[in-house]
Structure 1
Amino acid sequence: MAAAASSSSSPFPFPPRRPPDDTLFYAIYPLPLPTGLPPPALLASLQSLHLALLSHLSPFLSSHLFHRDPFTLSLPADPAAPCSLCSSPPTPHLHGALRFGDSLPDEWLAVSLLFALTRAFPDTVARAWDSDGDFLLIEAAFALPRWLDPDTAPNRVFISRGELHILPPSLFPHTPPLDAALRAVHDPSVPTRASDAVQAAIQRRISVTPAENLHTARVVAPAPVAKVLAEEPCLVARAVEGFYDRDVDTMKHAARMTRFLRGPAGDGVEMVRTSVRLTRAMYAQLMQQSFQAPRGYPMPRREEGPDRWVEAELGMKIACGFEMMYQERRHEVEEGKGSTWEVYRNSLEAAGCFEGLLPGSKEYKRVMEDAMQYYKTSSLFSRTREILSAPVHRIDEILAMPYSAEDFQGINLPPSDDDSWLCNGEDELNAELHERQKEVEEYEALKKRTKGQKQNVSSSSSSQPSEFNLGEITESMQDFVRKMSSFEGAEVPSNREEMESVDLDVNQFFKAMESVLGKASQEKAGNDTETDRKSSSSDMDFDDSDYENDSAEEAGDKDMDDSFMETYSDALNQELSNTSIKETFSRAPHHTNDEGPSNVADSDGEMAPVDVDLNLVESFLNSYSSQQGLPGPASNLLGLMGVKVPPPDGKKL
């Protein structure tokens, strides 16, 4: 959904592009929002929060492996400007984007980290979205209120204090501004916490431990590959990506293997046994694809056993992935301007951190030292991302170190994990489908119970609270119709009981309506002609001579109009008598004799008269119930007429 942020809130004149399907976006906001601060103070505030959050996550991030990109947080280029990543107004925040690829558990792992951060830092509020918009709502779809959908969700779904919060329409009938929504979520006195059913659905999804998504395997690989994996285990993600996304051009690099199967002097390298940690998605991508080893690649004989063959084949695929990735990245032009420190220092100067300070002065040196300390500290946590974005340089550094095959001998390697889960996908899928089917059945049962309660309420006025009378609806509507309106439009009093009686010429009202519809009343055509002429002359201020000139023409057309309308009415009634439209109205009992009421139609086929008051009440109640607490025509009109209808099912709106 959408959703990502609504396009209406985007500061750019063009519609935002659809986010990638395999990327999670998230933002964390400090509360109360540090607005009104000068740029240096705002930057310092966000930097302090940045370090605190990264320090809290560092024990986990340093040991966990992500499928594509690691979980990171960064400061916007300009905290006081609109954010292009979040498509949001200039609200101070930290943000990030995590490309999870085919490993959907990585997305939910990142969401669990957001819940953990807001729980550890109560003065922060987070939100997360992807190409589906507010995807957290999809997981709790059967527990959400009916008014919540992708169109009403923008700026309403947040994570605060380790729980999901949803801003109800009673607070903001329309899409709320981001800053106002954040203040409402942070205010404990404002009821924004989602229901227990919604919380339970989200917690079930994020309760899976990260270790359940990892797989450890023994492999036999060239010594350079083992050295890279020992120094930077996270680079295996790029190797698997290079192998899985290979094409004809990259396959040529794997056929030569000039980097990882040749020594510095062009000679061969030794094969060693090592252990590698993968995500389950990585392991499945390697194992489920058939791949012929390049010519000259040392593979064991199958007679040596299936375990030895599997280890060598898995190592061969990883080595080929490293080769393809390395050679492709090396040919890419991806060097930036200056070092990351230079870029960071330039951003500080653009933000005005050194404004008014002389280079070399004591205050200038102090600000520079603080900036350098922050850069060094934050770089420790962003180093993994830098390695993954520019792996060629890091691989060259590692392979330039002295190493040999003996470094990997005599090491007690952990055993390979059981990979039976590769073949249990059908059982897991059936279990997941069974769980979803159970949710659907519970939802349908609840909907039936709710529908039955609504039918009971509408069928018997005695089931309504004692302070509410269904007759008030008909009385108020009749008073509203009888009230005379002025040129300013219809007037509805704030208190229905204080309405004053207004004189209304009913005959003249119906005559005016019939003149518009082109059909006069046959019963009073002769008796009321003179009255109509006088009143029309006085009320409409027609000229008498013009009226007399037109009267002869109108009299000539009157018989033709009456004949046509009578024929048309008979044909229309005949057409409607063959349909079920008559069953859509509630009708008054039609007595044909003293024994009791007859059916809807009597023996002559004439339908019983429609009970206008009953249909009016039923229509109002059905419309009011379908609003689900949102503003709508029924509640607005009843409120203006002073009628208070209790909420559906006794819930508080």
Structure 2
Amino acid sequence: MDVEEAVHFPEHGFGEFPRKLPENCVEYLLFILDNKLEPRNVLPELEAVRKAAINLCDTVAKGYIWQRDSFQLRIERDQHLVYLRGVTDYGDSIEDEWLIVYILRELTRSFPSLWLRIFDGDGEFLLIEAANVLPKWLSPEIDNNRAWIHDGMLYIVPLAASSGKKIALSLAEAVRYIQSNPDDLVHSTFVEAEALYRLEKYPGQITDSIHNSLATIPRKLAYILHERPSTIAPAVEAFYLRNPTAMKPLASLSGNPHFPPQDLVTISVKFTKVLFAQLKSQRFAYPPIWSSIFEAAEKHSSTTESTQKALAHLEIGMKITSGFEMLATNADKRDNRLAREFSMLLEDMEEDGADVLPTNEDMEAWEDVHREDDESWLDINFNDFENELQGNRGSREGASNGFGDAAAQADLQKIVSRFEAFLNDEKAGVEGADMEDMDQDDDLEDEDEDEDEESEDEDKEVSFDEEQFSKLMKEMMGLPSIQSDEYEGGPGFSSKTTTGGIVQGEKEREEDEDEDIKQLAAQMEAELKGHGALKLDPRPQAPKGVIAGDDGSYKGKEKAILEYEAKEGEEEEGEEEESSDEEVDVDYNLAKNLLESFKSQAGMAGPAGNILGMMGLQLPRDEDEDEEEDG
């Protein structure tokens, strides 16, 4: 490619870095920062770096399946800077992001003047990894454009590079500072080890992240997967993000699918572990066009291991085929290079017909055509997990070698060790996090310096007014507010009194609080008694003259209600705090409604009977007078 053709000059520029990236995207910038290099030679040098990066990716990540976007670089110019830029959407596969970091870090070892700046949607994710050992002055408010990788090592642009006090650093300022003061950059082995510790498992992690599984699929699809194995990624994504529109070709037998379940073959399909887990974990009922295939397979199935494996291969193949069918509905319109490649390959194959399809003999010559990897990594033994957390791995006879693989064990041990260090931090107190070094809001920069310092001093310690909190809580509970004199032991009590005075004031305050609580409890008890909520006598009792007549029946209930109304006025005049032995006030409408509801039950179970039963009231069956006469 010609150098000028590789240069991309945006019409409107990209604006200041870092831009807000979409979620699950990583952006990487490569600069040639060499004062001895003439500006006219920057473009050829960048082109050489770009080609070397592509070659390194093809060598290191050969056969790797990217979740969404692959590694890519192109030359761009922005803010009078010429550099290499790439953006990759790694989706749900965090390993894609760290693979890019590994490739670019190795690239910086080959070019002495190359500097790497990399960030994602979360910001400076390398500094986030090393948050436990970062210098105190480096906070999230000012960490922009400060983390750089050069010659395989992590450098931090110091605070002095900013044009103002503790403000964010622009990309142009960072580049100028690196060019003029390369020896003043901060390099800490502790920060570097924490930030890049995930790279220790590379390049072996590239191979370990691949999973091969046998699947029973149509021959047409087997051809596509052999020609473009990476198209499995957009197909799996289309499957687990499926929608009703994409499933229309599978919804009926009268459809015209691209991959009908005919001429099925069983081959090995290559996934990443993330893609395989997404496909395997989905519960998906086979569509109508696959019903006859599954019914025949289940009819002749048995409990033998080979038969069960065949059903499993058929299920995986059905999911893969359904994913490609959904992808084919709008593959040419998707913003994904692999999806567009699949669309063009499918179009060419349908034009050529069956002439391009492989025979059984052709497929037998394919590499790893019958490979099936162990799926035990999908299973989690929670006993092993608990042992790992407690550090008891290998203590029991016959115990497994540990939870997960070596990388998972290392990550788990690192998490546990950090958590233990946090719990054992003797400098931490009940006040929580140390806020003394937290930066002020950038919006306050225009205020006077004295006001900034005063505000900063106020924020250094977070205070908690226990007395004010107690006062507010008592007001919410309905207690009378206690004046400040009461809290401080009466008039004249100050913070300079003797120890004895302080103790005496505390005792008086506690006694006042106890008295207030007792008063509140008495008020609540009186109110609950007034409503009958504290009547715990399990014996069936009814309000006199209202619930039952003298003969235990409901014949006199109208008369009882009239008597209750006559007594109601007298009870209101002499209403005082009643004891639990006195009669309970009953609302007339409530009693009437309860009686009518109970009567409508006709002796059967119902809501009124259940409610009264829970209150300890067992009412007799209210039979009509004509029923009594008949009896």
TM-score range relative to shorter protein: 0.5 to 0.7
Partner of 1:51: 51
User: Aligned AA for 2:89?
Assistant: R
2:171 corresponds to: 178
Unpaired runs of at least 5, structure 1: 1-9, 83-88, 263-267, 335-384, 451-489, 491-569, 584-597, 606-653
The residue aligned with 2:357 is 403
Determine the structure 2 residue equivalent to 1:145.
135
User: Paired residue for 2:456?
Assistant: none
Q: Deviations over 1:314-335 (max 9, x none)?
A: 11111111111011224x498x
Relative to structure 1, is the Cα distance of residues 447 and 309 closer, same or farther in structure 2, using a 3 angstrom cutoff?
same
SS at match of 2:82: coil
Distance in 1 between residues matched to 2:28 and 2:105, nearest whole Å:
12
Change in CA separation of 1:62 and 1:187 when aligned onto 2, cut-off 3 Å: farther
Counterpart mapping for 1:292-331 below 5 A = 292-297=285-290, 298-299=293-294, 300-301=297-298, 302-303=301-302, 305-330=307-332
Question: What residue number does 2:281 align with?
Answer: 288
Q: What is the correspondence of 1:43-442 to structure 2 with a 5 Å cutoff? A: 43-76=43-76, 79=77, 82=78, 89-172=79-162, 173=165, 174-182=167-175, 184-185=177-178, 190-208=183-201, 209-255=205-251, 258-262=256-260, 269-297=262-290, 298-299=293-294, 300-301=297-298, 302-303=301-302, 305-330=307-332, 332=333, 386-398=337-349, 400=352, 402-406=356-360, 407-409=362-364, 413-424=369-380, 432=411, 435-442=414-421
Cα 1:16–1:150 change in 2 (3 A) is closer
CA positional deviation for 1:15: 11
Summarize deviations over 1:174-198 as a string: whole Å, max 9, x none.
4344244235446785242432222
Deviations 1:605-633 (A, max 9, x none): 9xxxxxxxxxxxxxxxxxxxxxxxxxxxx
Separation in 1, partners of 2:423, 2:379:
34
The answer as to whether partners of 2:31 and 2:116 remain within 8 angstroms in 1 is: yes
Q: What is the CA distance between 1:59 and its match in structure 2?
A: 1.0
Q: Deviations over 1:410-450 (max 9, x none)?
A: 65635311111112285669565553232143356566399
Compute the RMSD of aligned alpha carbons.
4.1
Note closer, same or farther for the CA distance 1:269–1:156 as it changes in structure 2 (3 Å cut): same
Greater relative contact order (Cα < 8 A, sep 6+):
1
Matched AA of 2:371: P
Question: Cα 1:51–1:169, aligned 2, differ >3 Å: closer, same or farther?
Answer: same
Task: Output one character per residue of 1:154-204: Cα deviation in whole Å (capped at 9) or x when no partner.
Answer: 121111111221112144454344244235446785242432222221232
Distance 1:599 1:282, change over 3 A: same
Deviations for 1:268-311, whole angstroms, at most 9, x for unmatched residues? Answer: 74111211111111111111111122223334334361211111
User: Mean alpha-carbon deviation: is it higher for 151-160 or for 182-191?
Assistant: 182-191
The AA in structure 2 aligned to 1:395 is L
Is the alpha carbon distance of 1:259 and 1:17 closer, same or farther for their aligned partners in structure 2, counting shifts above 3 Å?
A: farther
Quote the residue 2:598 is aligned against: none
Q: Is the 8 A contact 1:128 1:134 kept in 2?
A: yes
Q: Which amino acid in 1 is paired with 2:157?
A: L
CA contact (8 A) 1:231 1:398 kept: no
In structure 2, the CA distance between the partners of 1:164 and 1:220, relative to structure 1 (3 Å rule), is same
Q: CA deviation at 1:396?
A: 2.2
Q: How far 1:254 sits from its partner (Å)? A: 2.9
Q: 1:37 to 1:160 in 2, by over 3 A?
A: closer
Change (3 A) 1:34 1:226: farther
1:68-107 per-position Cα deviation (integer Å, ceiling 9, x unaligned) = 211111223xx2xx3xxxxxx3421111111111112222
TM-score by length of 2: 0.55
SS for the counterpart of 2:284 is: coil
Once the two structures are superposed, residues 541-574 of structure 1 have per-residue CA deviations (whole angstroms, 9 ceiling, x without a partner) of: xxxxxxxxxxxxxxxxxxxxxxxxxxxxx99x99
Point out the more displaced range, 438-447 or 202-211: 438-447
The code of the aligned residue for 1:245 comes to L
Residue-by-residue CA offset, 1:497-531 (whole Å, 9 max, x unaligned)? xxxxxxxxxxxxxxxxxxxxxxxxxxxxxxxxxxx
- Which residue identity does 2:346 align to in structure 1? I
The question of whether the paired residues in 2 share the 8 Å contact of 1:28 and 1:94 is answered with: yes
Q: Which has the higher mean CA deviation after the structures are superposed, 404-413 or 232-241?
A: 404-413
8 A contact 2:75–2:82 mirrored in 1: no
Structure 1 residues 196 and 440: alpha-carbon distance in aligned structure 2, compared to 1, 3 A threshold: farther
Question: Aligned equivalents of 1:121 and 1:214: distance in 2?
Answer: 30
Identical-residue share of aligned pairs (%): 27
**Distance in 1 between residues matched to 2:494 and 2:244, nearest whole Å:** 66
- Specify the alignment match of 1:85 in structure 2: none
- Residue 49 to residue 37, structure 1, CA distance change in 2 (3 Å): same
Query: For the Cα contact (< 8 Å) 1:142–1:440, is it kept in 2?
Result: no
Worse-superposed segment, 54-63 or 277-286: 54-63
For 1:162 and 1:425, the matched residues in 2 are separated by 38
Query: Does the aligned pair in 1 maintain the 2:67–2:96 contact within 8 Å?
Result: yes
CA distance in 1, matches of 2:104, 2:490: 63
The answer to whether the 8 Å contact 1:253/1:323 transfers is yes
Assess, with a 3 A threshold, how the Cα gap between structure 1 residues 148 and 110 changes in structure 2: closer, same or farther.
same
Secondary structure of 1:98 counterpart: strand
Work out whether residues 33 and 92 of structure 1, in 8 Å CA contact, stay in contact via their aligned partners in 2: no
Rounded to whole Å, the distance in 1 between the matches of 2:412 and 2:99 is 22
Which residue type is aligned with residue 164 of structure 1? Answer: L
Aligned CA distance change for structure 1 residues 43 and 317 (closer, same or farther; 3 Å) = same
Tell whether the 8 Å contact from 1:271 to 1:405 is kept in structure 2 after alignment: no
Query: Contact 2:146–2:157 (CA<8 Å) still a contact in 1?
Result: yes
Q: Distance in 2 between matches of 1:424 and 1:433?
A: 14
Secondary structure, counterpart of 1:207 in structure 2 = helix
Describe the shift of the 1:166–1:130 C-alpha distance in structure 2 as closer, same or farther (beyond 3 A).
Answer: same
SS at match of 1:307: helix
Query: Within 2, Cα distance between the matches of 1:404 and 1:444?
Result: 62
For residue 266 of structure 2, give the secondary structure of its aligned residue in structure 1.
strand
Aligned length in residues: 397
Is the contact between residue 123 and residue 186 of structure 1 (CA under 8 Å) also seen in structure 2?
no
Q: SS where residue 125 of structure 1 aligns?
A: strand
Contact 2:117/2:145 (<8 A) preserved: no
The whole-number CA distance in structure 2 between the counterparts of 1:181 and 1:577 is: 61
Report which stretch shifted further, 153-162 or 298-307.
298-307
Deviations 1:233-267 (A, max 9, x none): 111111101111101111112336735435xxxxx
Closer, same or farther in 2 for the Cα pair 1:319/1:204, shift >3 Å?
Answer: same
d(CA) in 1 for partners of 2:173, 2:243: 50
